[in-house]
Structure 1
Amino acid sequence: MSSVSELVLPDGRRLGLDARGYLLDWEAWDAAVADQMASAEGLTLGPAHWQIIHLLREYYAAFEVAPPMRLLVKEVGQRLGPEAASSRYLYRLFPDGPAKQACRYAGLPKPVSCI
């Protein structure tokens, strides 16, 4: 049985989270969700973070699954250029794991390929 918690946003909204901290309803997401999650982990989201978050949401909207790490690196490279096409670049932005942490901030389910 999994436990459910919630994220309380500054505006008073309460959104359900699964036991690992992922939103239960990806469509309930907005930028305040990402900011709140990142802030709770001591991270301030900048333009580079937002590029990855929006890329993940667009990919999920199109394919109903978050991209695995290798595909995420490829997509980032195609959209943002070769200097961003590395797992090292993504880990600098999302040190707890680009696929897991970025997907959580993007309001998406945990990627299937992540443990």
Structure 2
Amino acid sequence: MDTHNQTVQVNGREIPTDSEGYLHNLGDWSEDFARALAEQEGLALTDRHWEVIHFLRTYFHEHDVQAQVRIMVKHFSEKWGAEPGSNRHLHDMFPRGGPQKQGNRLAGLLRTKGEH
């Protein structure tokens, strides 16, 4: 695996990430970082993307672990309805690795251990 470092330009500042776009320092996250990384990944963020990003950040802050996809599906199915909150729809929203990978990257969280 390629482990060299990259950066994301945020308001004239270079924010260091690993080769996949995960932050090295969780304190470097901002909504501007998420916007810049999403643009770099070709993703236009909608209000629903922001709901997922903020859910992931809140869940991590409260539990010290990333939310599993089944937890996201349960939460967003209850909030948005069965189809919009489904695993398939969440993966369609985050086409580069689903909500567990791309969502966590955009939320400024760590690379998920054990995910492939």
Query: What's the TM-score bracket when you normalise by the shorter of the two chains?
Result: 0.7 to 0.9
Q: Identity, % of aligned pairs?
A: 34
Q: How does 1:1-12 map to 2 (within 5 A)?
A: 2-9=3-10, 11-12=11-12
| Deviation of 1:94 (Å) | 0.5
Aligned residue pairs, count: 114
Which runs of structure 1 show a deviation greater than 3 angstroms over 4 or more consecutive aligned residues?
Answer: 78-84
Which structure 2 segments of 5+ residues have no match?
A: none
Letter in 1 for 2:111: K
Cα distance per residue 1:74-95 (max 9 Å; x no partner) = 2323444444331112012111
Match of 2:113 in 1: 112
| Deviation of 1:32 (Å) | 0.8
TM-score normalised by structure 1 residue count: 0.86
Contact (CA 8 Å) 1:68, 1:111: kept in 2 or not? no
Q: CA RMSD in A?
A: 1.9
- State the alpha-carbon separation in 1 of the partners of residues 17 and 65 from structure 2: 18
Q: Secondary structure at the match of 1:66?
A: coil
| Deviation of 1:110 (Å) | 1.6
Letter in 1 for 2:70: R
